[in-house]
Copies of this chain bind each other. A is one copy, B any other.
Amino acid sequence: MNDTLSLLMNHRSIRKFTDEPVTEEQLKTIVAAGQMASTSSNVQAYSIIAITDSEKKRKLAELAGNQAYIVECPVFLVWCADLYRLKKITEPHVDDQPTYEDSTENFIVATVDVALAAQNAAVAAESLGLGIVYIGGIRNRIAEFAEMLDLPELVYPVFGMCLGHPDQQPGLRPRLPVEAVLHRESYDRAAIEEAKRYDQISAEYLSKRTNGKNRTPWSEQMGKRLAEPVRLHMKEFLEGKGFMKR
């Protein structure tokens, strides 16, 4: 065990922040650490939008499901997959050749690029004593959200991230047993049985957190989630932004 491993193993999402601001130096350090993550063929296909304006945070929070911590955190980061910059800077070099920024492959490249950078940034933030929580809710009303941030074609907001000084220390949420996710040599369908063990583990954790009020097993929670027709607008939105056309 080393300090970095210990930091990774103790990650909790933080949803309550003190008033202490995040300094400009901290913000730039966190983004620079994010940028050092691997990037597919050096495309660096992401942009990060830092929101500190209270009124803007309030409006964005409303679009993202009214989570109070989006307003309360000192800095709200919006992590965007960005192929627009790539298209613009390469225009002088491609003449009249067709280009493939609209492929599903490049959509995946950009989405993975932004996630790798964001996770590095999350680790960097936690190493500085700050806390974060990812916000998938920004995809709830993504067209309005994108408009409010003036996102051009070929840019989409993948997730948000609240950043600030933690004002809580939540419990450590257990994950699936390693054996459920780590396969050897090929995909092992029997690993599903290991995942079933997790129902018990997660129910106990939930029960402890809710003083016995909630003991819903993981598989049942996930069943509810999968049965909800969530964000079915994504395909149309992304195609409208110029992504995944082929």
A residues whose Cβ falls under 8 Å from a Cβ of B:
2-5, 7-11, 13, 27-29, 31-33, 35-44, 46-53, 56, 80, 85-90, 92-94, 97-101, 103-106, 108-109, 111-112, 115-116, 118-120, 122-124, 127-128, 133-134, 136, 139, 148-152, 155, 158-159, 173, 175-176, 178, 180-187, 189, 191-192, 195-196, 202, 218-232, 234-235, 238, 244, 246
Contact = CB atoms under 8 A, between A and B. Distances in A.
Given A49-B185, A120-B8, A222-B43, A88 B192 contact: yes
Contact of A53 (B40, B119, B185): B185
Nearest to A236: B104
B111 A111 contact: yes
Contacts of A104: 234-235, 238
A5 B159 CA distance: 23
A119 B77 CA distance: 19
A231 B116 CA distance: 21
17 contacts: A2-B3, A2-B128, A4-B7, A8-B123, A28-B182, A46-B181, A47-B182, A49-B183, A50-B183, A52-B185, A89-B195, A89-B219, A93-B224, A105-B139, A109-B136, A111-B115, A116-B118
B232 A100 contact: yes
Given A43-B225, A101-B226, A108-B234, 13 more contacts: A4-B7, A5-B124, A9-B36, A27-B182, A31-B178, A50-B184, A89-B219, A90-B220, A92-B219, A100-B228, A100-B232, A150-B186, A155-B187
Contacts of A187: 47, 49, 80, 149-152, 155
Nearest to A219: B89
A229 to B, nearest CB: 6
Nearest first, the 6 A-B pairs at minimum CB distance are A93-B223, A115-B115, A4-B127, A90-B223, A119-B119, A105-B231
A118 to B, nearest CB: 7
Contacts of A52: 184-185
Contacts of A28: 178, 182
